[in-house]
Structure 1
Amino acid sequence: MSAPSVLIVGCGDVGGRLAKQLLVDNWQVSGLRRNTGALPAGVSAIAADLDSAQCPAEWPTVAPDYLVYCVAANQHDEAGYRLAYVEGLRTVLGWLAERGQQPRRLLFVSSSSVYAQQDGEWIDETAAAEPQGYSGTVMLEAEQLALASGIPASIVRLTGIYGPGREWLLSQVRQGYRVTEEPPLYGNRIHAEDAAGLLAFLLKADLQGRTLDDCYIGVDDAPEPLAEVVAWLREYMGVTEWSEQERVRRTGSKRCSNARSKALGWAPQYPSYKEGYAAILAGRG
């Protein structure tokens, strides 16, 4: 039996980590991005701009077994999101149709921004997705495009991704960041390596013939109030001074559950922010 193949569209931080994990298991991995020089070693490069209607010359001649769409918007406004997530996906689906190719499954990487709940309630994949901002609204539209593509699809709604190079909170805590304690502002997060690990796990589960749901939330085991996370980081990093003024960067507050993914057999390498941030500060992860 030939090695399974995957095409990762948007092979950046999470996509690159996914590629490395699959290469270890001898998958054939193709990565599509503008700057292919940043692709991990062993990945077949596809240089492409999703703004272009022309199918890239390096596009696989044989349909990939799997397609993972995990792009990042270049501009953070409604037009930029629509271009990256809706029109970009539409372009890739058009290239597949043009070549008469049908992957066995599409994984579309989405965001928990599709949930507008803000009272600290627990959220799972069955919760109402009624976004109030443009990011969640556009992402939900892109999800629906993926599910209606004619390719078996699963949506993976990632929560706040952190990891090496994604260290905004660490920087803010060092600078004396203080966050509102009451009411508690629950945050959800997943280490970048675990985000990639969940995608890899789902691909392998499908390859094994296991039945996948059409949606999974990517989150660690421990949604916590942001004030508790900040307090722990202060103590861990030895920060002894912080602002007298409380700051609130967002109004949302919810706790996302990973029960569906864990029931399938997945477990995060970094089950909480403590293990994840400790690894970052130790130069690992």
Structure 2
Amino acid sequence: MHVLILGAGFSGAAIAKTLRPLAQTVTGTTRSEEKAARLSLQGITPLIFDGETVSPALMAAMARTTHLIQSIAPGKAGDPLMRPGQPALAELMPELAWAGYLSTVGVYGDHGGAWVDEETPLHPVSERSQERVEAEEQWLSFGKATGVPVAVLRLSGIYGPGRNGLRNLAEGTARRLVKPGQVFNRIRVEDIAGATQFLIEHGLAGIYNVTDDEPAPPQDVVAEAARLMGIDPPPEIPFETAELSPMARSFYGENKRVSNAKLKAAGYTFAYPTYRQSLAALWEAGNWG
């Protein structure tokens, strides 16, 4: 297995760590030399990719790739591998046996707190979520046209070692914003990696929500982290009066409970099914910072 991860950031690096023991090669792209050096330390062969120009080195990596994970956000120009003028993907990757596209549960839009699953009609609110819908369609169409199994992984709010409520509290950046009725799903980064490995090993294609069991109000997660640390949680702040960036505020415009039943029915068992279990594991292991 020759793995290529386009956009080896927080999720991509976790996927690389999980797949490394199974693969002959694991290559990951990044935009900067500094980040490339970090990938090397993690056992990932780094390549610079700006999302536009496919270098000869990247082209060579693509030529041997059997398993692809695409984690780069599309942007207004569209998916970097599907844009007009790019070489045909089937020609760039003649050995491709499976592809995974990392998307977002933001494609569902707002459902007033109701449950959604992979069959729920999409009503993306933000422009970035609309771009994700288009990219999903392109990747699924590529799979149908070529016969390559393509899985779309719709991810909820990502957290894990180094990116979590415990660290936010320690750094003094945690806030308990309260918007009545608002809930979010979350996903531990190791479960993104585990789900990816599971889908690869079973050759599964299609759309899967990769998300936890327990959509919950964001202020409850902060309170649980504070309880584990033995400190007082920060005071509650009404959403209406909170100072937020336009992007942060837009997240609160979407309220839904995302089901992971399809992935479970396929046979995947989540390592961290709830934020309570996950935060407790991070705190006990001491790898939250």
Please list the CA deviations of residues 182-239 of structure 1 after superposition, one character each: whole Å capped at 9, or x if unmatched.
3x21110001111111111111111xxxxx2410011012222223323323322333
Matched to 1:196, the amino acid is A
Counterpart of 2:94?
A: 101
Measure, in 1, the Cα distance between the counterparts of 2:271 and 2:43: 24
Counterpart of 1:37?
A: 37
How large is the RMSD of aligned CA atoms in angstroms? 2.8
Counterpart of 1:265?
A: 267
Show the 5 A alignment for 1:198-209. 198-206=195-203
Measure, in 2, the Cα distance between the counterparts of 1:82 and 1:98: 25
Give the C-alpha shift of residue 141 in structure 1: 0.8
Please list the CA deviations of residues 18-62 of structure 1 after superposition, one character each: whole Å capped at 9, or x if unmatched.
111111234432222234222254433333322225544562374
Measure, in 2, the Cα distance between the counterparts of 1:135 and 1:263: 30
Counterpart of 2:209?
A: 217
Measure, in 2, the Cα distance between the counterparts of 1:50 and 1:61: 14
Counterpart of 1:81?
A: 75
Counterpart of 2:282?
A: 280
Measure, in 2, the Cα distance between the counterparts of 1:32 and 1:204: 23
SS of residue matched to 1:197: helix
SS of residue matched to 2:202: helix
Counterpart of 1:9?
A: 6
Matched to 1:38, the amino acid is R
Give the C-alpha shift of residue 9 in structure 1: 1.0
Aligned counterpart in structure 2 of residue 177 of structure 1, from 175, 178, 186: 175
Counterpart of 1:143?
A: 136
Q: Is the 8 A contact 1:5 1:65 kept in 2?
A: yes
Give the C-alpha shift of residue 276 in structure 1: 1.8
SS of residue matched to 2:51: coil
Matched to 1:263, the amino acid is A
Q: Is the 8 A contact 1:111 1:159 kept in 2?
A: yes
Return the TM-score normalized by structure 2. 0.81
Matched to 1:214, the amino acid is G
Instruction: Confirm whether residue 160 of structure 1 aligns to residue 157 of structure 2.
Output: yes
Change (3 A) 1:50 1:227: closer
Counterpart of 2:192?
A: 195
Q: Name the structure where helix makes up a greater proportion of residues.
A: 2
Please list the CA deviations of residues 41-96 of structure 1 after superposition, one character each: whole Å capped at 9, or x if unmatched.
4433333322225544562374322111012x5xxxxxx7234xx24132697364
Q: Is the 8 A contact 1:178 1:247 kept in 2?
A: no
Counterpart of 1:254?
A: 256
Return the TM-score normalized by structure 1. 0.82
Give the C-alpha shift of residue 112 in structure 1: 0.7
Counterpart of 1:67?
A: 68
Counterpart of 2:115?
A: 122
Measure, in 1, the Cα distance between the counterparts of 2:115 and 2:62: 45
Number of residue equivalences: 267
Counterpart of 1:132?
A: 125
Counterpart of 1:20?
A: 17
Please list the CA deviations of residues 149-189 of structure 1 after superposition, one character each: whole Å capped at 9, or x if unmatched.
2343111110000112323685269567333263x211100
Q: Is the 8 A contact 1:9 1:31 kept in 2?
A: yes
Measure, in 2, the Cα distance between the counterparts of 1:100 and 1:191: 30
Q: Is the 8 A contact 1:181 1:227 kept in 2?
A: no
Measure, in 2, the Cα distance between the counterparts of 1:147 and 1:204: 19
Counterpart of 2:219?
A: 227
Matched to 1:166, the amino acid is R
